[in-house]
Amino acid sequence: MMALGHRFADEFPELCLPWNAAQVPEPSLAIFNDNLATELGLDPGRLSGPEGVGVLAGNLVPEGATPVALGYAGHQFGNYSPRLGDGRALLLGELTKPDGRLVDIHLKGSGRTPFARGGDGKATLGPMLREYIVSEAMCSMSVPTTRSLSVVMTGEGVYRDGIEPGAVLTRVAASHIRVGTFEYAIRLGGEDLVRRLADHCIERHHPDSDDSSNRYLGLLSAVVDAQAVLIAKWMSLGFIHGVMNTDNMTISGEGIDYGPCAFMDAYDPSTVFSSIDHGGRYSYGNQARVATWNLARLAETMLGLFSDDTEAAVEMATETVNGFVDRFAQHWNALMAAKLGFAEVPTNCEELVSNLLTAMHKDRLDWTRAFRSLSGTLRADSPGVSDPIADDGSEQSAELSEWISRWRAQLSDSGVDHQDAATRMDSVNPVYIPRNHIVHDVLQDATAGSLTGFEELIEVLSDPFTERPGLERFAAGSSAQFAASFQTFCGT
């Protein structure tokens, strides 16, 4: 069925607790990811059959597996919690993919564990389908992410705002080691445990760090870079994670835990999507800054590994963490240059982008539609003044028209063929993203018993860059009223 190893559980008994999932009364599949199953070397037919669904629901433990609840700490909205951990999740074990790489198979919503504190250990259908939608959309847009193999409905009612259908998500990840795992390890087992954890992460996620003169500093640097790539990609797509706590930041560099997250509609850097994020800590425009803050928490746990001389260790750590700023800028500029059709990053990239963003902000343009429609202004081969890239059909502002003229001229000056640029732009500026109002509607329908809309959305998002007739509503912006009132909630 699924041959799972238990390497993490064996190597780090301090960091996990053997535990079993709660039995659920009536498991049935809401969705099963055939492609991912095949990619993992699993038999989709068997895994989506009755016995497989038993495994995906947590009712059956695959032979030889040792499920564990993972311990971790974390800074949530800046406040330290020494013991969070998998309160409603389990690592079933590690699977070896056909390419030889290990991935975690993890259940979310599988019942209370000793880390549950006051929680009921359960998950509901809407939020688990939301994670499925976002992770699979991310993957289709080449953003590093955990994946979703399935969502099983448990046949059980779970109490939230009212009674909702219970569900279990099966998540596939390079690993579930987080910044919060290091924070947990330093407190529990000191430098020795952190060293073992770091060695494990180097081997599993960042083998190149082994070549650096100081391998642990090399690991920190690799994590800094992986996170810089991730945040730059998120932001280039207008994505806001919403809860970038240190327990939601992986060492592998995959995005994880898509709770109160969303793709922005109208561009506004102060947009937040968590109902409890009053200070804007995790707003769109603050994500790079908060990533650096989180990486500093990681670095603190590793100080003793960098050098015996504390002062020197702090200096090395600070320099490496601060390196995020340049790396992020590099990745961001490369991504934005590509979104604007340049074959190479122009020297004035930052200024060009910032001027566009200022105009977009003023005009309250939809992030995704604005970028996608820029290729149209190249194809039309007109100065763009009359091309409505404003999402509400209103007149394009003079500022934006001027920007478009300057940008077109610069493309020409740098020898870029406009038609080629338009084609390249369409391969990086998606038409279809999980739009808030559509996700909201399909999850509401799913909770009420109809999965048709959800399935259609998954199909649309599997090919985000190819515009197809008949799918216009998936590319349209939401009503201003919806956008103004929209927030996802932390109570997932």
Beta strands in 255-377 (DSSP E): 262-263
* Active-site position among 86, 104, 225, 247: 247
Nearest to 154 by CA among 59, 34, 68: 59
Contact flag: residue 248 with Mg ion (CB under 5 A): yes
C-alpha to C-alpha distance for 434 and 264, rounded to whole angstroms: 10
The total number of residues written for the chain in this structure: 492
C-alpha distances out from residue 424 to 322, 336, 371, Å? 33, 12, 12
Mark residue 461 as left, alpha or beta (left: phi above 0; alpha: psi -120 to 50; beta: remaining): alpha
Question: Which option in ligand AMP, Mg ion, none does residue 238 bind, with CB closer than 5 to 8 A by kind?
Answer: none
CB-wise, 60 or 89, nearer to ligand AMP? 89
Q: Which two tokens stand for residue 348?
A: 């004035």
Residue 161 appears among annotated catalytic residues: no
Question: Which option in Mg ion, ligand AMP, none does residue 106 bind, with CB closer than 5 to 8 A by kind?
Answer: none
Q: What is the DSSP annotation of 42-104? A: --HHHHTSHHHHHHHHTSSPPTT---EEEP--EEETTEEES----SSEEEEEEEE-TTS-EEE
CB-wise, 248 or 488, nearer to ligand AMP? 248
C-alpha to C-alpha distance for 73 and 180, rounded to whole angstroms: 5
Contact flag: residue 75 with ligand AMP (CB under 6 A): no
Chosen residue from 75, 88, 171, 339 binding ligand AMP by CB under 6 A: 88
CB-wise, 113 or 373, nearer to ligand AMP? 113
Stretch that binds Mg ion, among 101-109, 257-265, 362-370, 482-490 (CB under 5 A): 257-265
Q: Show the CA angle centred on residue 239, arms to residues 422 and 485, nearest 5°.
A: 115
Q: How many residues bind ligand AMP (CB under 6 A)?
A: 15
Stretch that binds Mg ion, among 40-48, 199-207, 210-218, 241-249 (CB under 5 A): 241-249
Least separation in angstroms between residue 112's CB and ligand AMP is 6
C-alpha to C-alpha distance for 315 and 326, rounded to whole angstroms: 17
Stretch that binds ligand AMP, among 56-64, 114-122, 211-219, 427-435 (CB under 6 A): 114-122
Q: Which two tokens stand for residue 371?
A: 């970028």
Q: 184 with 171: CB under 8 angstroms?
A: no
228-247 positions binding ligand AMP, by CB under 6 A? none
CB-wise, 111 or 346, nearer to Mg ion? 111
CB-wise, 257 or 265, nearer to ligand AMP? 257
Report helix, strand and coil shares of the chain as percent, to nearest 5: 50, 15, 35
Question: Which option in ligand AMP, Mg ion, none does residue 120 bind, with CB closer than 5 to 8 A by kind?
Answer: ligand AMP
CB-wise, 89 or 230, nearer to ligand AMP? 89
Stretch that binds Mg ion, among 158-166, 253-261, 268-276, 388-396 (CB under 5 A): 253-261
Alpha helices, DSSP H, located in 86-178: 125-140
Least separation in angstroms between residue 250's CB and Mg ion is 10
Least separation in angstroms between residue 404's CB and ligand AMP is 41
Contact flag: residue 86 with ligand AMP (CB under 6 A): yes
253-292 positions binding ligand AMP, by CB under 6 A? 257, 259
Instruction: State the amino acid at position 366 in one-letter form.
Output: D
Contact flag: residue 131 with ligand AMP (CB under 6 A): no
Stretch that binds Mg ion, among 34-42, 129-137, 247-255, 303-311 (CB under 5 A): 247-255
Chosen residue from 257, 277, 363, 426 binding Mg ion by CB under 5 A: 257
Question: Which option in Mg ion, ligand AMP, none does residue 67 bind, with CB closer than 5 to 8 A by kind?
Answer: none
With the C-alpha atoms ordered 209, 219, 193, 197, is the resulting torsion angle positive or negative?
Answer: negative
C-alpha distances out from residue 215 to 190, 243, 250, 300, 333, Å? 18, 30, 19, 16, 29
CB-wise, 248 or 377, nearer to Mg ion? 248
Q: Show the CA angle centred on residue 274, arms to residues 322 and 92, nearest 5°.
A: 80
Give the 3-state DSSP-derived string for 404-416, with helices as H, strands as E and coil as C: HHHHHHHHHHCCC
Catalytic residues: 247
- Contact positions toward Mg ion, by CB under 5 A? 248, 257
- Contact positions toward ligand AMP, by CB under 6 A? 84-89, 115-116, 119-122, 248, 257, 259
